[in-house]
Amino acid sequence: MTDIFSSSDLPPPMSIAAVERDCGIPKDTLRIWERRYGFPAPLRDANDERLYPADQVARLRLLRRLIAAGHRPGKVVALPADELLDLIRGLERPPARRARAGADSAVIPERSADAAEVLGALAAHDAERLRSHLAGLLLREGLGGFAGRVGPGLIHAVGAAWARGALEIHQEHLFTDQFTGVLRNAIGAVAATGGPQMPPRVLLTTLPGEPHGLGLLMAEAMFALEGCACVSLGVQTPVRDIALAARAHRADVLALSFSEAIGAGLARAGLADLRALAPADTEIWAGGACPGLRDQPGVHRLRDLAGIAGDVARWRQSAAAQN
Amino acid sequence: MTDIFSSSDLPPPMSIAAVERDCGIPKDTLRIWERRYGFPAPLRDANDERLYPADQVARLRLLRRLIAAGHRPGKVVALPADELLDLIRGLERPPARRARAGADSAVIPERSADAAEVLGALAAHDAERLRSHLAGLLLREGLGGFAGRVGPGLIHAVGAAWARGALEIHQEHLFTDQFTGVLRNAIGAVAATGGPQMPPRVLLTTLPGEPHGLGLLMAEAMFALEGCACVSLGVQTPVRDIALAARAHRADVLALSFSEAIGAGLARAGLADLRALAPADTEIWAGGACPGLRDQPGVHRLRDLAGIAGDVARWRQSAAAQN
DNA sequence: GAGCCTATCTGTCTAGGACAAACAAGGATC
DNA sequence: GATCCTTGTTTGTCCTAGACAGATAGGCTC
């Protein structure tokens, strides 16, 4: 790839705060990696502050993905970029945190024909083609199939393509926007034509630090299809406000979405806080690709989006049994 | 207000990371406030780590509001809670950052009947009522009137209500989600039924640090109504990627949205960087309520959303003149 | 008033040290 | 061979304290 910035010389180095935002690696961690492993090795500006060149930032993004997939920082942080790429390529569960919960192997076909078409539209920067393909998929699969099965696969494929450098960030943004548009339209249609709404009342949101809204939207679609009364607060609601909202809306279920982006520690801590603050009779359902999302007391782990229908049915049975 | 958390005995003290998440105040800032102003004054756990009692966290939330409204930290951080409440109550622009740019007083009727209905629905936590009112407004005003005039007024009214403590954050989130849903539906309808798309090709996004997407969506609606070919990348696209995307999509216009949330410095620096990286023949149009958004070389300042039609017409005239 | 200039304010960066929680590996037991 | 416990290592987050650049306020002059 020839550098399109050759005219304006080079992509500008980033400050430590910018890298934290961009890669999701805390400042403290960046500094301690530098001290312990010798990478990253940022330049310094006139005021002795770190300046991370673009290639090191790219390497950090690879690292984040590897570590999220189970590699240990000490083993991989100092590795050169090409070895990291090899590891990424081999990322169909090489170390993968010794199989923990038994059934973790939801088969996601990363390279289906649909994914190829999506990636092709992105490569061509063709928003219209992307949109119409997504809309077509929605029609072909139905909202349940689209949000429950195809969507997660596409998101995974796009994320993987980005991680191996096949997509730029702006292409991922374009995908996210088009996907959001298609899904929101469909959800709007379900809400407009839907029959009477039934319990459980579901409140959807993500914790602070989790900016990814697609999972939330797909979950909303699944709940809406089951006839649940859904209220979504969008992303990044403070824990205290989630608890307040749960009371205000008399929510039966609090549905939280966790992408790979959020730190495992943040997720656990936030869930624990939330469980303490939310009404005891409100169930907390947590789902998503976040690797650190293990069983937590008082929190129901959603296996995958397609399983939401079953979870709702189970809730209704148990609610009926209590009355 | 009786403490809604009284049932669970007492709210547990929070770690510094939890406070950062909850209040949005960085850890560094919390420590330096403590050092400089004597507040907050957290307890310490067995390991000498800070533990913030719930009342101090509540006070920090008040502080955040006051500072966002223009108060200076040094003046208010050390103030006792009741004085903070007095200040909050008096928050109909008391200090309010001395009026700056001359033509800043776009008359926004903050308390129209529509705003009152929206605030009422939010107070009742009635998502359905909110949604149907917004949808009704859309029908009554048309998409142009909704996105260009009514929407900004509603957003302003909701923001003001939050600033004076009349709304919780989760209520603002609910508004944002419903508003987004209604608007996206309408944009989808325009795109589906719209005639042939004409220049300019418009690429919409926000800079990193600007998480607010409503302005972007309203702008997209206005451009779509003018028949422009729109591509939205959503929020927080890195500057370098905006420039890449501008080339990839052969954009004629780069439309950036700035809410009050983003720092004036960030906005200026980002715009300058972007102007340097983007193709010279791509115009940059910047709009929004950000106070620091002054005239900048090579950047066209959008006065308001309703004026976008005129801006597009002007662009087309000038483009036609060149051919 | 409008513009400029200086002093204060304020957030973010720097450094290295410490430690608890998470983890891997080895050893003992069933 | 599988499960459990113990030990040693890894790793992220918190700590202190100092420095400084950019923004703001207040006084000055025009």
Task: Quote the CA–CA distance of B46 and B43 in Å, as a whole number.
Answer: 10
- Predicted confidence at residue B265, as pLDDT, reads 61
- Predicted confidence at residue A98, as pLDDT, reads 38
Q: For residue A284, give both structure tokens.
A: 């907390």
Residues B105-141: pLDDT tens digits? 344 455 588 999 999 999 999 999 999 999 999 999 9
* Residue B68 φ then ψ, to 5°: -60, -30
With CA atoms as reference, the chain A residue closest to B58 would be A240
Task: Quote the CA–CA distance of B223 and B217 in Å, as a whole number.
Answer: 10
User: Per-residue pLDDT for B163 more than 80?
Assistant: no
Minimum-distance CB partner of B125 among A4, A187, A248? A248
Strand C nucleotides, any atom under 7 Å to a protein CB: 9-20, 22-24
Task: Quote the CA–CA distance of A259 and A248 in Å, as a whole number.
Answer: 27
User: What average pLDDT does chain B have?
Assistant: 83
- Predicted confidence at residue A239, as pLDDT, reads 83
Task: Quote the CA–CA distance of B295 and B286 in Å, as a whole number.
Answer: 10
Share of chain B above pLDDT 90, in %: 47
Q: Confidence class of residue B6 from pLDDT cuts 50, 70 and 90?
A: very low
Strands A253-258, A283-288: parallel, antiparallel or unpaired by DSSP? parallel
Q: How far is B103 from chain A (nearest CA, A)?
A: 33
Over chain A (323 residues), the average pLDDT of each successive run of 10 is 44 82 85 91 87 89 81 88 82 42 42 88 95 94 94 90 81 96 92 78 89 93 93 89 94 90 70 84 87 70 90 90 74
Rg (CA), chain A: 21
State the best of B14, B233, B239 to mutate against chain A, taking most chain A CBs within 10 Å: B233
Residues B23-79: pLDDT tens digits? 888 999 999 999 999 999 999 888 888 999 988 998 998 898 888 777 888 889 999
Higher pLDDT, B181 or A109: B181
Residues 6+ away with beta carbon under 8 Å from B111: B157
Query: Residue for token digits 């969008």?
Result: A234
Name the β-bridge partners of B44.
Answer: B50
Task: Quote the CA–CA distance of A223 and A217 in Å, as a whole number.
Answer: 10
Torsion of CA A107, A112, A118, A122, to 10 degrees: 90
- Predicted confidence at residue B123, as pLDDT, reads 96
Nearest protein residue to nucleotide D15, judged by CA and C1' positions: B49
Distance A97 CA to D5 C1' (A): 21
- CA-based nearest residue to B127, from A207, A276, A220, A316: A220
Nearest protein residue to nucleotide D24, judged by CA and C1' positions: B72
Share of chain B above pLDDT 70, in %: 85
- CA-based nearest residue to A81, from A89, A70, A69, A72: A89
Using a CB-CB cut-off of 8 Å, the residues of chain B touching A22 are 208, 238
User: Per-residue pLDDT for B310 more than 80?
Assistant: yes
Task: Quote the CA–CA distance of A30 and A14 in Å, as a whole number.
Answer: 13
Among A67-71, B168-172, B304-308, the minimum mean pLDDT is found in A67-71
Using a CB-CB cut-off of 8 Å, the residues of chain A touching B237 are 169-170, 173
Query: Residue for token digits 């050390």?
Result: B78
- Predicted confidence at residue B128, as pLDDT, reads 92
Mean pLDDT on B243-257: 94
Cβ distance A185 to B180 less than 8 Å, yes or no, reads no
Higher pLDDT, B218 or A238: B218
Scanning every strand, the nucleotide with its C1' closest to A48's CA turns out to be C14
Q: Are A63 and A77 in contact (CB under 8 A)?
A: yes
Cβ distance B21 to A208 less than 8 Å, yes or no, reads yes
State the best of A8, A236, A240, A282 to mutate against chain B, taking most chain B CBs within 10 Å: A240
- Predicted confidence at residue A102, as pLDDT, reads 35
User: Per-residue pLDDT for B4 more than 50?
Assistant: no
Which residue type, as a one-letter code, is found at position A67?
A: I
Distance A63 CA to D5 C1' (A): 33
Complete domains list, chain B, with CATH:
6-89 (1.10.1660.10), 113-185 (1.10.1240), 197-322 (3.40.50.280)
Cβ distance B234 to A180 less than 8 Å, yes or no, reads yes
Q: What letter does residue A94 receive in the DSSP assignment?
A: S
Task: Quote the CA–CA distance of A11 and A56 in Å, as a whole number.
Answer: 12
Using a CB-CB cut-off of 8 Å, the residues of chain A touching B24 are 208, 238
Cβ distance B173 to A233 less than 8 Å, yes or no, reads yes
Residues B219-246: pLDDT tens digits? 999 999 999 999 999 998 888 889 999 9
Which residue type, as a one-letter code, is found at position A21?
A: R
The dihedral region occupied by A24, where left means phi > 0, alpha psi between -120 and 50, and beta the remainder, is left
User: Per-residue pLDDT for B89 more than 80?
Assistant: no
Q: How far is B218 from chain A (nearest CA, A)?
A: 14
* Residue B315 φ then ψ, to 5°: -60, -45
- CA-based nearest residue to A267, from A289, A251, A247, A245: A289
- Predicted confidence at residue B97, as pLDDT, reads 41
Cβ distance A248 to B187 less than 8 Å, yes or no, reads no
DSSP calls for B54-69: HHHHHHHHHHHHHHHT
User: Per-residue pLDDT for B153 more than 70?
Assistant: yes
Using a CB-CB cut-off of 8 Å, the residues of chain A touching B232 are 177
Using a CB-CB cut-off of 8 Å, the residues of chain A touching B247 are 4
Residue B52 CA from chain centroid, whole number: 29
Q: How far is A95 from chain B (nearest CA, A)?
A: 30
User: Per-residue pLDDT for B186 more than 80?
Assistant: yes
Distance B283 CA to D29 C1' (A): 41
Q: Are B200 and B228 in contact (CB under 8 A)?
A: yes
